[in-house]
Structure 1
């Protein structure tokens, strides 16, 4: 066998196996039908890929290797056509906590009027009282913006939230989440295969932070961000605009490329120049360190001290029964810079 033949077969084998690594989970996650059928079809697609690879190298299958490759190519082309036909929707039977996306309008006197602000009363992850509220926020009263990371899978991976503070002590938190259907559970791998749409949720902190720190037991960290007032305003409005776009033009969530961190990064790059790409945008548990490297965290203390004092779980648990405004105030006690404006 010549060197050229070896290289060609090796490249073809890798291409076949690589296509199979996409095709098998795509079939399993997105084909309609019972799990047994999806498992069988995904396994058959993987087996056909493996047989094609074996045929490339086994002389006894030389006569049929191109026939097998042609069958697999037709399967792959048909699968790509089917995959492109799967489009995001806005009219599914959504889980209650993502049933609504925030809706907003800005009045001439610079008051942000919001509909569908979430303010659930959580007792357990499955037991809660749903509340969707109408709220008004005067944008000339914006005083702060905070970055929160909620670690649910080790130190490397965290959910990112951004919370805006106002002069009257209120805070409005935004979260980019999967818009899962009722009785649907999150899958990291499924999130890479059009399993969920995107949602932008605006919520009271006692809802969206407390459910993570007190109810689910995730490790939640809070950092005061340094940002010009006008940029804070534009970021808040960018969240509202993103939610409005998703209501009319739904998009799929993607675990790697379109998630709670990358969407915030995309909004920020539209508002300011010079934000570099970085691996910490994927390993979102390290996002605060990335923000610190951009000189955008509170300068009240070095980053090592900010990180050491950023955990809010003890304060959140102690404030569990306190009303909304008190909860937000108490979880910030002892956080460096959190008693000062962001600008």
Structure 2
């Protein structure tokens, strides 16, 4: 068999290996870049050195280097890959970092009979995204007075991606909202790509609606939608308790946030699946902006309405901004006209 024929036969295998090397090179470059933001010079050196080693192997697989040079390139890349994976394994989540003010405190939940005691409920007064008065509170809720759960979606980067929150309502108008978020440090800002590369820990925030919903609709100008969830009282209670369990677990054991597998939408799905194990997986769990439509298709929103109608009536921004000007109760104002919300929740 001629050398030319041998090379042709080896081309498919070389192509597969070359693609794998390029993908690994890209992953490693992004991992290094997002893990070293506080050391700009070292970040550039490490990222460029790693990328050069990967690209040299890709070039060698194309047959553009001598055999000896190919072996050296392969050895260097193999050693670099081993070192990179060993370093990756040393990255561990922590609760001990210089956290940003709005994620500085971890939620702690205690249950005494039908009473739930929450420590570190966030109730900031937001004047703008960067101008605020911090306030953390201890609150007690009576599970026997728990009545409703609302799904809240806040859109901040187009129609396909949204932040997902669940707001629980009690007799007498008390409400508390749960939200899984990145736990960013003071120098950090959110990065969807960084969320794939262990850049952030996660935190489960419990907050007042005027804090966590109003900051999105009024301070940040995000498009916010609210939907009444159709759940039995037993399932509302079970979902609420699952959030408390998740908060205490996270307090005991820190975890990394992951943009794809451990985010604000997947936690809602995971908790709901504990109650209803037959919930189907769906692409809309990844495209979180369509999560409410997914729930609607499962008959989990107010019946008798098309999804487009529920979405239009659930858009709260105009009502949220008006409540600032009028001084009306925020939670009552944003529920005006939302299907499934009874009259006693929208009037004093």
TM-score of the two chains, using structure 2 as the length reference: 0.94
Cα pair 2:147 2:171 within 8 Å, conserved: yes
> 2:170: which partner in 1?
166
Q: Which residue of 1 aligns with 2:116?
A: 112
Aligned to 1:79: 84
**Corresponding residue to 1:179 among 183, 198, 217:** 183
Counterpart in 2 of 1:249? 253
2:71 to 66, 71, 76: 66
Contact 2:59/2:65 (<8 A) preserved? no
Deviation at 1:78, TM superposition (A): 1.0
Distance 1:321 1:111 in 2: 35
The answer to whether the 8 Å contact 1:300/1:336 transfers is no
CA RMSD of aligned residues (A): 1.7
Q: Quick one: structure 1 residues 212 and 180, their matched pair in 2 at CA, closer, same or farther if it must change by over 3 Å?
A: same
Superposed displacement of residue 241, structure 1: 1.2
Choose which of 55, 59, 66 in structure 1 pairs with 2:60.
Answer: 55
Give the CA deviation at 1:121.
0.3
Number of corresponding residues: 340
Q: Retained in 2: the 8 A contact 1:158–1:284?
A: yes
Question: How big is the shift at 1:322?
Answer: 6.7
| 1:195 pairs with one of 176, 199, 211 | 199
Runs (5+) with no aligned partner, structure 1:
none
Does residue 209 of structure 2 align to residue 209 of structure 1?
no
User: How many angstroms apart in 1 are the aligned matches of 2:51 and 2:240?
Assistant: 46
After TM superposition, list the pairs within 5 Å mapping 1:122-161 onto structure 2.
Answer: 122-161=126-165
Task: Give the Cα separation in 2 of the matches to 1:105 and 1:329.
Answer: 28
Q: What's the offset of the Cα at 1:340?
A: 7.1
Q: Does the alignment pair 1:96 with 2:101?
A: yes
SS of 2:66's partner is helix
Which of residues 212, 222, 225 in structure 2 aligns to 1:221?
Answer: 225
Secondary structure at 1:309 match in 2: helix
What is the alpha-carbon distance in structure 1 between the residues aligned to residue 343 and residue 67 of structure 2? Answer: 74
Q: CA deviation at 1:218?
A: 0.3
C-alpha distance in 1 between matches for 2:272 and 2:220: 29
Which residue in the other structure is 2:322 paired with? 318
Q: Corresponding residue for 2:25?
A: 20
Question: Relative to 1, partners in 2 of residues 1:28 and 1:60: Cα closer, same or farther, differing over 3 Å?
Answer: closer
Is the CA contact 1:312–1:332 (under 8 Å) kept in the aligned structure 2? yes
Residue in 2 aligned with 1:275?
A: 279
Tell me the equivalent position of 1:329: 332
Aligned-partner SS, 1:115:
strand
Q: State whether residues 152 and 164 of structure 2, in contact with CA within 8 Å, keep that contact through their aligned partners in structure 1.
A: yes
Deviation for aligned residue 1:239: 1.0
Q: Structure 1 residue 58: deviation in Å?
A: 2.5
Mapped to 1, the partners of 2:302 and 2:124 lie a distance apart of: 30
Paired residues of 1:300 and 1:337 also in contact (CA < 8 A): no
Whether the 8 Å CA contact 1:56–1:62 is kept in 2: the answer is no
The separation in 1 between residues aligned to 2:343 and 2:42, in whole angstroms, is 58
Deviations 1:194-228 (A, max 9, x none): 11101000000000000000000000000000011
